[in-house]
Structure 1
Amino acid sequence: MKIRNKTPLHRLAVFPLLLTQLAVALLAATVGWLWKGPLAGYSTLLGGMIVLVPNLYFTYKAFRYFGARSVNAIVQSFWSGEMGKLILTAALFALVFAGVERLNVAALFVGYGLVLGTSACSLLLVKGFPKH
């Protein structure tokens, strides 16, 4: 029996991480814009969005179900969410490289790395994380 999670996105525990990723992407794009110009700014923003958009998809898929009776549906939705996230990331990279004429590749990967690093540090953002 699948129990559907009707909690809105802004009430999920992962929402602060998604907001932090958006803030890092916007901040990095602003710094890139001011430091190296508009080309670096929007390239950095595109790199950040290549991380953020698939993470939004994963969040939607992974947190659709809850409860002990839904364990099979939860595992399945996590797997499909992760596979969709990987495919979406690859498709967004392909779309950016094929569709954007002027692109600062270094800035794109800086934006990607910074926002991806925010994901890697997500345990530090979780409420109640042990602070030794």
Structure 2
Amino acid sequence: MGIPSKAPFHRQPGFPILILQAIVTAVIAVIFAVSGGWVAAYSALLGGLIALLANAYFAFKAFRYFGARSAKAIVQSIWSGAMGKWIITAVLFALTFVGVEPLEPMKLFIGYLLALLAAACAPLLMKVF
């Protein structure tokens, strides 16, 4: 078994990326609220939250262990985090499509993709700032 990390979740390396993702999600929801109405706003917000919750689960799993002796546990944890992330994403999309009416699917996917793009670009942006 690996050596567990003792750092709290908000001190983990992936946490600033989650914060940036949350900020982008909120900004997109406000932009859609102003330009497209409340349905567009909460559709985009739900899309961003789907990406954010899935990435939060992955970050929690990926940074559970540290050190060279924990290499096997780290790889297993990252693998299970990635699989869990995809399962959470699929389940949350299914629940959203079944349980939320009215919904604008295009705005939902725009919110999701922009939140993913924010997470992908976050390491580059954090080097600049």
TM-score (normalizing by structure 2):
0.94
Matched, 1:27 2:14: no
Residue 84 of structure 2 is matched in structure 1 by 84
Match of 1:74 in 2: 74
Give the Cα–Cα distance (whole angstroms) in 2 for the partners of residues 5 and 120 of structure 1: 24
Deviation at 1:104, TM superposition (A): 0.8
Q: 1:118 corresponds to which residue?
A: 118
Q: Which deviates more from structure 2 when the two are superposed, residues 113-122 or residues 80-89?
A: 113-122
User: Does structure 2 retain, via aligned residues, the 8 Å contact 1:17–1:125?
Assistant: no
- How many pairs does the alignment contain? 129
Q: 1:77 is aligned with what amino acid? A: S
Q: After TM superposition, which residue ranges in structure 1, 4 or more long, deviate above 3 angstroms? A: 125-128
Instruction: Give the structure 2 partner of residue 50 of structure 1.
Output: 50
Deviates more, 1:51-60 or 1:5-14: 5-14
Render the CA deviation track for 1:18-65: whole Å, top value 9, x for unaligned.
Answer: 100000000000110111100000000000011000000001111100
The separation in 2 between residues aligned to 1:65 and 1:127, in whole angstroms, is 25
Partner residue of 2:17? 17
Partner of 2:100: 100
Give deviations 1:79-124, integer Å, cap 9, x for gaps.
Answer: 0000000010000100000111210111101101110111221330
Q: Normalising to structure 1: TM-score of the pair?
A: 0.92
**Distance verdict in 2 for CA 1:125–1:10, change over 3 Å:** farther
Match of residue 37 from structure 1: 37
Q: Name stretches of at least 5 consecutive residues in structure 2 with no aligned partner.
A: none
Distance 2:19 2:59 in 1: 13
| 8 Å contact from structure 2 (residues 43, 103) kept in 1 | yes
Calculate the aligned-residue CA RMSD, in Å.
1.5
Give unpaired runs (5+ residues) of structure 1: none
DSSP-derived class of the 2:52 partner:
helix
The structure richer in helix per residue is: 2
